[in-house]
Copies of this chain bind each other. A is one copy, B any other.
Amino acid sequence: MQATGISAAELADRRGRLLEHARDVGLTGVVLFDQAYIQYHTGFSFLSNERPIAFAQSVAGETAVFVPEFEVERTREEAAFDRIESYPEYPGVEHPMLVWARVLDDLGLRGRIGVDSDGYPGILGYQGPPLSEVTGAAVEPLSDFIEGRMRRKSPAEIELIRRSARWCEHAHRLLQRYSVPGATEAEASLHAGYEATLAMLEALGPDYAGQLGSQDGATAGYRGQIGRRSAWAHAVAHNITFREGDMLVTETAAPVWGYNAELERGMVVGTPTDEQRQLHEHVVSAQEVAFDAFRPGVTCADVDRAVTDYFAANDLLPLWRQHTGHAIGLRNHEAPFLDVGDHTPVEPGMVFTIEPGVYREGLGGFRHSDTIAVTEEGIEILTDYPRDLESLTIPA
Given contacts A73-B232, A206-B239, A239-B206, contact A49 B339 (CB under 8 A): no
Quick one: which of B70, B93, B239 contacts A233, CB cutoff 8 A? B70
For A50, give its contact among B70, B201, B208, B326 (CB under 8 Å).
B326
Chain A 305-335 interface 0/1 with B at a Cβ cutoff of 8 Å (1 = within): 0000000000000000111001100011111
Q: Are B49 and A333 in contact (CB under 8 A)?
A: yes
Q: What are the residues of chain B within 8 A of A236 when measuring CB–CB?
A: 45-47, 78, 209, 211, 213
A237 → B minimal CB distance (Å): 5
B210 to A237, Cβ gap below 8 A?
A: yes
Q: Inside 8 A of A186's CB, which chain B residues have their CB?
A: 197-198, 201, 215-217
Compute how far the CA of A122 lies from the CA of B214 in the bound complex, rounded to whole angstroms.
24
The answer to whether A127 and B47 have CB atoms under 8 Å apart is: no
Question: Are A90's CB and B337's CB within 8 A?
Answer: yes
A359-B70 contact given A91-B342, A186-B197, A340-B93, CB 8 Å threshold = yes
Query: Is the pair A237, B223 in contact by a Cβ cutoff of 8 Å?
Result: no
Residues 93-129 of A at the B interface (beta carbon under 8 Å) = 93-95, 121-122, 124-125, 127
Contact of A231 with B73 in the complex, beta carbons under 8 Å = yes
Q: A189-B215, A334-B125 are in contact. Are A70 and B321 (CB under 8 A)?
A: yes
Task: Verify if A292 is at the interface (C-beta below 8 Å from B).
Answer: no
- The listed residue (B122, B231, B238, B339) touching A90 by CB distance below 8 A is B339
Q: How far apart are the CA atoms of A46 and B224 in the complex, in Å? A: 12
A125 touches B70 (CB 8 A): no
**Total identical chains:** 2
A143, A193, A214 — most chain B CB neighbours (10 Å): A214
Q: How far is the CA of A234 from the CA of B215 in the complex (A)?
A: 13
Contacts known (A214-B251, A216-B239, A234-B47); A333 close to B124, Cβ less than 8 A: yes
Contacting pair A190 B184 (CB below 8 A):
no
A239 to B326, CA, bound (A): 31
Collect the chain B residues with CB atoms within 8 Å of residue A335's CB. Answer: 50, 125, 127
Q: Which of B68, B125, B251, B339 lies in contact with A89, CB distance below 8 A?
A: B339
Q: Is the CB of A337 within 8 A of B50?
A: yes
Task: Kindly state whether residue A69 has any CB partner on chain B within 8 Å.
Answer: yes
Specify which chain B residues have a CB less than 8 angstroms from the CB of A127 in the assembled complex: 335
Query: Which residues of the other chain, B, contact A204 by a CB distance below 8 angstroms?
Result: 239
Query: When the two chains form their complex, are residues B208 and A239 in contact, meaning their CB atoms are under 8 A apart?
Result: yes
User: Is the pair B237, A209 in contact by a Cβ cutoff of 8 Å?
Assistant: yes
* Structural contact, B238 and A209, CB atoms closer than 8 A: yes
- The answer to whether A214 and B210 have CB atoms under 8 Å apart is no
Q: Which residues of B are found within 8 Å of A337, using beta-carbon distances?
A: 50, 90-91, 125
29 residue pairs of the A-B complex, CB under 8 angstroms, read A47-B236, A50-B335, A70-B321, A73-B361, A89-B322, A89-B323, A91-B342, A92-B340, A93-B340, A93-B341, A121-B121, A124-B334, A125-B147, A125-B336, A186-B201, A190-B193, A190-B217, A201-B239, A205-B239, A206-B238, A209-B237, A211-B236, A213-B223, A213-B236, A214-B219, A214-B223, A215-B237, A216-B237, A216-B238
The 3 A-B pairs at the shortest CB distance, nearest first, are namely: A125-B335, A70-B321, A91-B341
Known A50-B326, A125-B333, A191-B194; further 12 A-B contacts with Cβ < 8 A: A74-B234, A74-B235, A89-B322, A94-B341, A124-B332, A125-B327, A125-B337, A194-B194, A201-B239, A208-B239, A213-B236, A215-B237
